[in-house]
Every structure is written in C-alpha cells, then in structure tokens.
C-alpha cells in the first residue's frame, strides 16, 4: 500500500466514523428536537414527572385564574386536549385567553405543567408557526385566520 492509499483509507475511515457518530447523536436527540409539544403530544406521551418540556397552544377560554402572590393558573389547549399550567410571576402584556402561548417548565406529578417561562404572541396577527401547524393537525384551525 502506498502512502497516498494509506492516507485516503485513513480519511475515509475517519469520515465514516464521524458520519456514524453524527447519526447516533441525531437518533438519540430525535425526541428532544422540537420547539414545543402540543397538549395532544403531552397526553399521548405521558412524560415522567420532572421532565422539562415546552408546551404550546391556545390559552383555553375561561381557564385563567389569578391568585395573590402572583400565582397564575390556566390551561393550554390544541382543541383536542388541554394541559393545566401553573405559573408564578408576571405574565407578558399580550397574554390573554384564546391567544397563542408557549410555556416552558417541568411536568408535575399530576400531569400539569409548572412553568417558569411563559411566552405570548407579539401582536394581533402573529401566532408561532408550530402552534398553527398543531391546530391544523388537530382540525381546529380555520383558514383565513392570522398566520
């Protein structure tokens, strides 16, 4: 074997090893590479308590409850299922019932989400693309609504 052949063989083997490593990494992260989970995803997967997730959907009408000390409870729905969310802090100015929201936090033992971050839409026409797709998938999106 000549030096050139050994060098090409070494480069080819290194490329194969890197491709396999990248494939294994992407496979291991396939469940984690998501911007948020819809309530239907949460109900279907039933993540273990303590699992950190991002939940996206619409704030369910009539579910918003504020208590003393800045505690807020509401439900996020995709039209098919709803997940209760508990949050302590100041909500974004544009947060309200019937609007798109993404909440990040951990799953509580009762299946609700204890959020540490709540993100609301930024104007009257915007809704995150992922939320729109989840609503369309659930059959709750009406064509012509703001995108």
Cα(107)–Cα(83) distance, integer angstroms: 10
Report pLDDT for 8.
Answer: 94
pTM: 0.62
pLDDT of residue 146 exceeding 70: no
Report pLDDT for 33.
Answer: 63
Report pLDDT for 17.
Answer: 97
Q: Which helix (H) or strand (E) holds 75?
A: strand 71-77
Contact 104, 125 (CB under 8 A): no
Q: How confident is the model at residue 19 (pLDDT cuts 50, 70, 90)?
A: very high
Q: How many CA atoms lie within 13 A of 103 on its CB side?
A: 31
Domain ranges of the chain: 1-33, 39-137
Q: Render pLDDT for 41-61 as a digit per residue (tens, 0 to 9).
A: 888 888 888 888 888 888 888
The second-level CATH assignment, the architecture, of 39-137 is Beta Barrel (2.40)
Q: Render pLDDT for 63-111 as a digit per residue (tens, 0 to 9).
A: 888 887 778 889 988 888 888 999 988 888 878 888 888 888 998 888 8
């Amino acid at each position: 074997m000549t030096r050139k052949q050994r060098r090409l063989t070494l480069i080819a083997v290194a490329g194969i090893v890197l491709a396999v490593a990248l494939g294994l990494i992407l496979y291991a992260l396939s469940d984690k590479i998501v911007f948020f989970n819809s309530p239907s995803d949460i109900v279907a997967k039933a993540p273990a308590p303590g699992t950190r997730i991002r939940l996206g959907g619409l704030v369910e009408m009539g579910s918003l409850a504020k208590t003393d000390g800045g505690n807020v409870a509401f439900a996020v729905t995709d039209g098919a299922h709803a997940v209760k969310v508990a949050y302590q802090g100041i909500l974004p100015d544009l947060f309200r019932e019937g609007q798109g929201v993404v909440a990040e936090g951990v799953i509580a033992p009762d299946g609700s989400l204890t959020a540490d971050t709540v993100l609301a839409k930024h104007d009257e026409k915007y809704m995150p693309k992922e939320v729109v797709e989840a609503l369309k998938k659930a059959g709750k999106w009406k064509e012509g609504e703001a995108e």
